[in-house]
């Protein structure tokens, strides 16, 4: 059995392919590629094709090399399938960047399905017991490192949340100006710098303006985009 995702809005050819086999009452599935927009649909189709005799579904995630927030939807679909069909489901062997995303989302990297709540959403972490006052230089240093790590995690969360709209904006620029994906990325970054606007806000404005009756970007942002496009063409 094999299922694959369709090409992205940006025109890329990155896909998610799920292969596997059924052995008696157990299905072993192996996703390969990226957990991005459309991955939950691919998984849903794969699960729907499983024989009714299957009582356990195990996913080996070792072949997944990238995921964004769509990966959490992928897990929601898997967990919901297990509840509705009364099947045991697992998703193990996470590595690299996907494993890091699970850490940031507060999920168990051994099998994130173990701490999804009944609604399929990420369970809130149990509040920690207040620690005793730091009385040593070592404790103070650890507290400072924790604060720095918390800031880094928040920045990464924002970057993850921004990726879908940035990908859409890149696709729109590629279609509008006939540029490559890398060139569209540089246009967004340069327009952000020229207009002193956050990158995700530039991307959101570009995406909104492409919709029917969507509002055009501000005059300042339009000027910055024109300059960025012109500079890319000269280069």
Q: How many residues does the chain have?
A: 235
Between residues 147 and 93, which one has the greater pLDDT? 93
Per-residue confidence (pLDDT) for residue 137, from 0 to 100: 59
Question: Cα 150 to the chain's mean position, in Å?
Answer: 19
CA neighbours within 13 Å on the CB side: how many for 181?
10
Given a contact cutoff of 8 angstroms between Cβ atoms, the answer to whether 84 and 51 are in contact is no
Confidence band for 140, pLDDT divided at 50, 70 and 90: low
**How many angstroms separate the most distant Cα atoms in the chain?**
63
Query: At residue 67, does pLDDT exceed 80?
Result: yes
Per-residue confidence (pLDDT) for residue 32, from 0 to 100: 95
Average pLDDT score, the chain: 80
Instruction: Give the domains, in start order, of the chain with CATH numbers.
Output: 2-115 (3.30.750.24), 161-234 (no CATH)
d(CA 105, CA 102): 5
Question: Whose structure tokens read 């920690």?
Answer: 128
Query: At residue 55, does pLDDT exceed 60?
Result: yes
Q: How many CB atoms lie within 10 A of CB 45?
A: 14
Give the three-state DSSP class for 27: strand
- Lowest mean per-residue pLDDT among 75-89, 133-147, 157-171, 181-195: 133-147
Mean pLDDT of 177-191: 89
Query: At residue 141, does pLDDT exceed 60?
Result: yes
Per-residue confidence (pLDDT) for residue 23, from 0 to 100: 92
Which pLDDT tens digit goes with each residue over 100-132? 888 877 788 899 988 664 334 443 333 434 444
Q: Which residues pair with 226 in a beta bridge?
A: none
């Amino acid at each position: 059995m094999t299922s694959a995702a369709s090409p992205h809005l940006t025109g890329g050819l990155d896909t998610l392919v799920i292969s596997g086999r059924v052995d008696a009452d157990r299905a072993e599935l192996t996703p390969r590629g990226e957990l991005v927009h459309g991955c939950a649909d691919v998984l849903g189709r794969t699960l729907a094709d499983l024989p009714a005799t299957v009582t356990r579904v195990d996913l080996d995630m070792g072949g997944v090399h990238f995921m964004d927030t769509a990966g959490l939807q992928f897990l929601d679909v898997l967990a919901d399938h297990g509840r509705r069909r009364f099947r045991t489901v697992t998703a193990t062997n996470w590595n690299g960047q996907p494993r890091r995303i699970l850490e940031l989302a507060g999920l168990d990297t051994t099998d994130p399905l173990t701490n999804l709540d009944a609604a399929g959403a990420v369970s809130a972490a149990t509040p920690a017991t207040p620690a005793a006052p730091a009385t040593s230089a070592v404790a103070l240093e650890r507290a400072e490192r924790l604060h720095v790590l918390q800031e880094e995690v928040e920045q990464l969360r924002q970057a993850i949340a921004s990726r879908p709209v940035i990908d859409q904006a890149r696709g729109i620029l590629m279609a509008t100006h006939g540029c490559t994906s890398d060139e569209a990325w540089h246009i967004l970054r340069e327009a952000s710098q020229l207009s002193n606007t956050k990158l995700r806000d530039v991307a959101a404005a570009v995406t909104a303006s492409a919709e029917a009756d969507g509002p055009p970007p501000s005059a300042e942002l339009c000027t910055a985009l024109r300059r960025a496009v012109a500079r890319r063409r000269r280069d």
